[in-house]
Structure 1
Amino acid sequence: MSDKRETPLTSLSLEGHHCTVDLRLAKLGMVPFFQDLSEEQLRKVNKKFTANHYSKGETIYRQGDSATMLRVVVAGNVKLAAHTLEGESVLLDMLQPGDFFGNPMAGSKDIYDETAENQTSTCILSIRISDFKEVMSRYPSVAMSVLDIMADRLNESRQRIQHLTTLPVKKRLAHILVTLGNKFGEKHSRGLLIQLPLSRKDLANMAGTSAETTSRIMSQFQEDGLITSGRQWVAINDKPKLLHISVKD
């Protein structure tokens, strides 16, 4: 595994960044449950959101806090992690612009099941759950879409649990790399670059294994020409082979 400290990742700086109305509408329009709204309807919904800027590493909310807000990423990346009773951190997801987080169906006594932390500098749109429920009442298509999305997320959670409990670590890591490549990958001279700061600890937490095991398998992937990697970055060189590893018996 490369020990070079330089990174090919695009550096994100939000200094002087403004969440313009056009940008807000563009990112809100990417959220699945808003995609059937007209521009006029989306503009009305946008007025219920507030914009906030966060620094890299800043926590947006912690696991166990009251679940009062629904949020949408406008710029930057956010990671969601849950903490086990043993104090271990399990990385649940990495979010990019257009992704939402928080439980849109949360009740007044519900809490967040995860901690949301900024992977980079970010601009986040936020709406109170009570206000979002008014949006669902006003636009039935939003409510129906939310129900479908929450059902899909439940199935994804079940699949993730199955992966963590039944698949060998090598398959888990191959699956994670393919998934991240599909979501964050950008064509680059080094390969399909996962445009996201990604440490071995992050990958280990996603795979439910140790950083040492992750480093060993990632080193083998690199020796086999499947990936190129450095300090907190990974580029995929052979996605079909990684996909084959992730699904083969």
Structure 2
Amino acid sequence: MADKRETPLSNPSLKGHHCSVDLRLEKLGMVPFFQDLPEAELREVNKKFTANHYTRGETIYRQGDPSTMLRVVVAGNVKLVSHTSEGQSVLLDMLQPGEFFGNPAASGKEVYNETAETQTAACVLSIRLRDFRDVMNRYASVAMSVLDITTDRLQESRQRIRHLSTLPVKKRLAYILVTLANKFGEKDRQGLLIQLPLSRKDLADMAGTSTETTSRIMSQFQDDDLITSGRQWVAVKDKPELLRISAES
């Protein structure tokens, strides 16, 4: 029962050195539209970013705020949440170091379509969109990559909407667990441990269903020995079976 009360997740302390120049360059270099830049040019781009530290649960920006910044996660985790007109929360994505958020192609007159919140303590780099446009004008590879990524993200959003609107909840949750395990999973005595705090509400918001339904299905997955879980953590024990469930007709 100790595992139920105590999280097995790693919980590194977030100090100022987590946004050191070397780490900033490493994580910026992981961002798709910066991957082709030589180190010297990446260092020039880095100078245009500012670093901010956040505690767990802080709001970085809210849905409807003017879209003025592009941001990159350097340390910690950030989640993106959309709020519907009916007041429902939909968890769009969970981000790890090296991933960006905000709309890089925004004109400056647009607003954020989601709320960004820290899921853990985090260090985030920010660049004003007008400065990012200068970067795109200077480096053609960045501008071309932004166009490709914007198109890909639109297609992913359409696929996610289809997924939420057509598949049964059990399949949605199985698919979400496999996706999170692929992205955040680390081998552990518990199984493939998803290395970020993950509540039943988070999973419900990702699946577009209620917390009660999510808890019932997660309990079924646990009874079937597909997962093991505790307070704010989940480990996948049988990923192939979850994948089969998500794909079965």
TM-score band w.r.t. shorter chain: over 0.9
2:53 alignment counterpart: 53
Which amino acid counterpart does residue 15 of structure 1 have in structure 2?
Answer: K
Aligned equivalents of 1:111, 1:8: Cα separation in 2: 38
| Contact 1:2-1:229 at 8 Å conserved across structures | no
1:235 alignment counterpart: 235
1:15 partnered with 2:20: no
Aligned equivalents of 2:172, 2:2: Cα separation in 1: 22
2:43 alignment counterpart: 43
User: 1:46, CA displacement in angstroms?
Assistant: 0.4
1:207 alignment counterpart: 207
2:69 alignment counterpart: 69
Aligned pairs (5 A) from 1:169-180: 169-180=169-180
1:33 alignment counterpart: 33
Which amino acid counterpart does residue 145 of structure 2 have in structure 1?
Answer: S
Aligned equivalents of 1:99, 1:246: Cα separation in 2: 26
Aligned equivalents of 2:156, 2:10: Cα separation in 1: 29
1:181 alignment counterpart: 181
1:219 alignment counterpart: 219
After alignment, is 102-111 or 13-22 more displaced? 13-22
Which amino acid counterpart does residue 68 of structure 2 have in structure 1?
Answer: T
Aligned pairs (5 A) from 1:76-155: 76-155=76-155
Runs of 4+ in 1 over 2 A off after TM superposition: 15-18
Q: TM-score, length-normalised on structure 1?
A: 0.98
1:170-190: CA deviation from partner (whole Å, max 9, x where unpaired): 000000000000100001010
**SS of residue matched to 1:201:** helix
**SS of residue matched to 2:5:** coil
Aligned equivalents of 2:237, 2:167: Cα separation in 1: 23
| Contact 1:2-1:230 at 8 Å conserved across structures | no
Aligned length: 249
Which amino acid counterpart does residue 216 of structure 2 have in structure 1?
Answer: R
Which amino acid counterpart does residue 7 of structure 2 have in structure 1?
Answer: T
Change (3 A) 1:92 1:173: same
Change (3 A) 1:199 1:162: same
Aligned equivalents of 2:156, 2:108: Cα separation in 1: 25
Change (3 A) 1:104 1:59: same
**SS of residue matched to 1:152:** helix
| Contact 1:61-1:117 at 8 Å conserved across structures | yes
- RMSD over aligned Cα atoms: 1.3
Aligned equivalents of 1:98, 1:159: Cα separation in 2: 23
User: 1:15, CA displacement in angstroms?
Assistant: 3.4
Structure 1: runs of 5 or more not aligned: none
After alignment, is 13-22 or 226-235 more displaced? 13-22
User: 1:18, CA displacement in angstroms?
Assistant: 4.1
Structure 2: runs of 5 or more not aligned: none
| Contact 1:12-1:120 at 8 Å conserved across structures | no
User: 1:216, CA displacement in angstroms?
Assistant: 0.5
Which amino acid counterpart does residue 13 of structure 1 have in structure 2?
Answer: S
Aligned equivalents of 1:43, 1:141: Cα separation in 2: 16
| Contact 1:12-1:121 at 8 Å conserved across structures | no
2:198 alignment counterpart: 198
**SS of residue matched to 2:155:** helix
**SS of residue matched to 1:4:** helix
User: 1:62, CA displacement in angstroms?
Assistant: 0.3
